Amino acid sequence: MPLAAPPRLIVFDLDGTLIDSRVDLCNSVNATLAHLGKPTLPEAVISGYIGDGASMLVRRAIGDPEGDITDDQYVTKALTFFLDYYRIHKLDYTYVYPGVREALEAIRATHPEILMAVLTNKPVHPSRDICDHFGLSRFFFQNYGGNSFHTKKPDPHGLEALISEASTLSGHTITPAETIMVGDTDIDVLTARNCGARSIGCTFGLKPHSLEDAPPDHLAHAPADWLSFVLANS
């Protein structure tokens, strides 16, 4: 199905959308658990905890997602170790999904007027470092992380901020209806819905099963599908 109108802004999630960071995130979580004297967890279990930011990832891993078991000092200790470890090991096994660079290049070549950005719940510094390392930053006018605002996805604040910035850059107002959020989880779909934007769900990501809980407007089975949705409305 084609999109309702040609987009003027495309916003991408990072983990599970542009990059596969599963192994490095899981290794960092298990290093944290070992540091705390807790048993490590299978990669499949930790992968299910990814998507809501570093703090929630750590809370889920230590078995306290609601924050009513351990005190804040303990969680801070765990999170600090996790972030320090991940900062060093974030590029050990992480890679860009096949076809991502080609898809971004194609969008830029065929539609240079479309602005692109990143909105992730990963902390902003590792997000930008990873995009810099893989040469992805050149495609994006902005890269915001989970600590860039007072709220995280699925709160629409970050996406609304990007729409406002894109409008200023382009010299004309960009509406949510002209904006697409691309991601691999229900969090990304809900972010788009909460803003009034459209969504593309990536079935090749880290948590594509979560898309069943919040079906996106369109499904992308490979990065090349992103371009097909854009071209369908050109």
User: Which two structure tokens, joined as six digits, stand for 123?
Assistant: 């902390």
- CA 47/CA 50 separation, integer angstroms: 5
Domains and CATH numbers, the chain: 9-18+97-232 (3.40.50.1000), 21-90 (1.10.150)
Contacts of 228 (CB under 8 A, 6+ apart): none
Q: What is the pLDDT of residues 5-30, one digit of tens each?
A: 689 999 999 999 999 999 999 999 99
Q: Please, which pLDDT band fits residue 2 given cuts at 50, 70 and 90?
A: very low
The residue type of 59 is: R
Task: Give strand pairing partners of 143.
Answer: 118
User: Which two structure tokens, joined as six digits, stand for 51?
Assistant: 């998507």
Q: What angle do CA 16, 8, 122 make, to 5 degrees?
A: 25
- pLDDT top residue among 229 and 111: 111
pTM assigned to the model? 0.94
User: Which two structure tokens, joined as six digits, stand for 41?
Assistant: 């967890």
Q: What is the pLDDT of residues 184-230, one digit of tens each?
A: 999 999 999 999 999 999 999 998 999 999 999 999 999 999 998 87
4, pLDDT greater than 70: no
- CA 206/CA 188 separation, integer angstroms: 13
1, pLDDT greater than 60: no
Q: What is the pLDDT of residues 157-168, one digit of tens each?
A: 999 999 999 999
Catalogue the active-site residues. 13
Work out the percent of the chain whose per-residue pLDDT is above 90.
86
**Beta-carbon count within 10 A of 186 CB:** 23
- CA 193/CA 49 separation, integer angstroms: 22
pLDDT at residue number 190: 98
User: Which two structure tokens, joined as six digits, stand for 125?
Assistant: 């510094």
52, pLDDT greater than 50: yes
Q: What is the DSSP letter of 62?
A: T
